[in-house]
Amino acid sequence: MQLSRQQLDLLQAFESGLDPRYPERSRIPATVLGYGEISTVFAIDVEALRGLAFKRMPLFNDEDEIQAYQVAYEEYCRLLQEEAGLHLPAHGFATLSSGTGRPVFYIIQQRLPSASIGNKALRLLPEEMALLLVKRILQEMHSVWQFNARQDHLQLSLDGQISNWSISGFDPDHPRFDGGAHLLYFDTSTPLFRIDGKEQVEAELFLRSAPSFLAWILRLLFLEDVVNRYYDFRRVAIDLVANFYKEGCRELIPGVLEVVNDFFRGEAAELGIQPIDAEEVRSYYREDALIWTLYLSFRRIDRWLQTKLLGRDYPYILPGKIER
């Protein structure tokens, strides 16, 4: 996907007029579609940019860092599609300059219908179809770990949360899922993959958005573990199940756990993954929710310190209160 000159000029005008503290007050109107730890996803409300989703990533210091990330991003998307067999939405990218002169990288994707996103669709589907959706997500992820198991030169990672998948052709007026529809995986902005054990993206980049006074302890105690999590199918599956707490669908968790464990015993038996129990999921969720709630609070403190006390630019957009 490549933007026209008109579209690039409109995107640059959006970035130049963006107020990271109050994005809804920016010069060009936009709708926030989602928040990540290092990015924010927008739909920009001008005709020439309709039908597109823009993931804004302001964590780079210079063009060299962006170029290295871009190379890794393109290769990660290629590997997911050509080697692991996943389906991705149409996508592209653009490099722009913020109002303060900071380079900003945008990942551009085909905008997917809101109701088709996994965490929205499962609220519309009857329980048996929601559980079938979980099984299909596991099958998609399985292809990634099958690729990893076939060779030891290259290893792919994945964040399998249900909110990272879209059901192709989903009709919210007649919500059904029979397992035959394509699933689109769209959370490609953290292109973690290893060649001969070496990460192809500098993991330190993902600490740029962390509170300045916490970066050292996150680097020391958490960074390696968080990165490793996404290479471990069992831990990715625990995260998938635990995410049903956050999505307000805890009543589905016993059925989801049964689907996951049946899958590990059956279709993915060759990987030798141990079953997951309910207490393990509860414990994981409690710890994860506490960590991210505190982390967001510290980011708000850091934004105040940077902008009010030190008079510096704070390029990241923080979400409001998140229900967990």
Distance, first Cα to last Cα, the chain: 35
The CATH number of the domain holding residue 75 is: 3.30.200
Supply 15's token pair: 């970035």
* Cβ-contact 20, 316 below 8 angstroms: yes
| 56 falls within a domain | yes
| 81 falls within a domain | yes
pLDDT, residue 196, reads 95
* Cβ-contact 188, 230 below 8 angstroms: no
Q: What letter does residue 113 receive in the DSSP assignment? A: P
- Helix 233-246 vs helix 253-265: crossing angle, to nearest 10: 170
* Cβ-contact 88, 186 below 8 angstroms: yes
* Cβ-contact 48, 180 below 8 angstroms: no
- Written as tens digits, the pLDDT of the chain (324 aa) is 889 999 999 999 999 988 888 887 888 988 999 887 778 899 998 999 999 999 999 889 889 999 999 999 999 999 999 999 999 999 999 999 887 778 999 999 999 999 999 999 999 999 999 999 999 999 999 999 999 999 889 999 999 999 999 999 999 999 999 988 899 999 999 999 999 999 999 888 888 888 878 877 877 777 788 889 999 999 999 999 999 998 989 999 999 999 999 999 999 999 999 999 999 999 999 988 787 788 888 888 988 888 888 888 888 888 766 655
* Ramachandran area for residue 101 (φ above 0: left; ψ -120 to 50: alpha; else beta): left
Alpha-carbon distance 51 to 267, whole Å?
A: 37
| Beta carbons within 10 angstroms of residue 164's beta carbon | 20
Q: What letter does residue 187 receive in the DSSP assignment? A: -
pLDDT, residue 46, reads 92
Q: Is the pTM of this model over 0.85?
A: yes
Query: Rounded to whole angstroms, what are the CA distances from 114 to 14, 33, 124, 163, 170?
Result: 23, 9, 12, 10, 10
H-run or E-run covering 120: helix 118-124
Please give the residue range of the domain that contains residue 25: 5-110
| Among candidate residues 298, 170, 185, the one with its CA nearest the CA of residue 240 | 185
**Helix, strand, or coil (residue 233):** helix
| 289 falls within a domain | no
Please write the tens of the pLDDT for every residue from 130-178: 999 999 999 999 999 999 999 889 999 999 999 999 999 999 999 999 9
Alpha-carbon distance 254 to 256, whole Å?
A: 5
Beta strand ranges found along 165-306 (DSSP E): 165-167, 183-185, 193-195, 198-199
| 257 falls within a domain | no
| 71 falls within a domain | yes
| 217 falls within a domain | no
Query: Rounded to whole angstroms, what are the CA distances from 181 to 38, 81, 269?
Result: 31, 17, 25
H-run or E-run covering 33: strand 30-35
- Which residues, listed in sequence order, are joined to residue 154 by a DSSP beta bridge? 195
Burial track 64-100 (b if 16+ CB lie within 10 A, e otherwise): ebbeebbebbebbbebbeebbebebbebebbebebee
Query: Rounded to whole angstroms, what are the CA distances from 21 to 5, 27, 243?
Result: 28, 13, 28
Alpha-carbon distance 6 to 46, whole Å?
A: 11
Number of structural domains in the chain: 1
| 194 falls within a domain | no
| 15 falls within a domain | yes
For the four alpha carbons of 195, 162, 83 and 273, in that order, the dihedral sign comes to positive
